[in-house]
Amino acid sequence: MLTQEEPVRSKTPWTDIVEAKRAIRSQHIKTHRQDTGNSEIGDKITRISDISALMQLLESREVSAEDIVTAYIQKCVYTDSYVLGFLLTSPRACIAHEKV
């Protein structure tokens, strides 16, 4: 039995542990990443800087609310793969949260 006075010491360098955890994180992100299906629409949506332009696209039914949400989620996931902010979306966790 461990006590507070007996910390667990690993013989593995901390840099190796960090590298292993980053590899696990990257694998989880790849597992949950989904393609938008049409990146041209996603790029068009996420480049809009004026809400009235976005509203016009919605009103003309050129895009749907789902297209908008998906485009911004995919942009976050794509950006996270470069900045390593550890964005992880777990569908099971989201569903479990909604059932509570």
pLDDT tens across the length of the chain (100 residues):
555 666 667 788 888 998 999 888 878 777 665 554 457 888 889 888 899 999 999 999 999 888 888 888 778 777 766 666 555 555 556 556 555 5
- Which residue, among 90, 40, 94, has the nearest Cα to 63 in the 3D structure? 40
Report the length, in residues, of the chain.
100
- Which residue, among 97, 93, 71, 87, has the nearest Cα to 29 in the 3D structure? 87
pLDDT on residue 51:
92
Question: Around Cβ 67, how many Cβ atoms within 10 Å?
Answer: 19
CA dihedral (13, 77, 49, 60) in degrees, to 10, reads 180
- The residue extents of the domains of the chain are 34-99
DSSP code for 90:
-
> What DSSP string runs through 18-67?
HHHHHHHHHHHHHHH----S-HHHHHHHHT---HHHHHHHHHTTSS-HHH
Question: Around Cβ 42, how many Cβ atoms within 10 Å?
Answer: 22
pLDDT on residue 59:
95
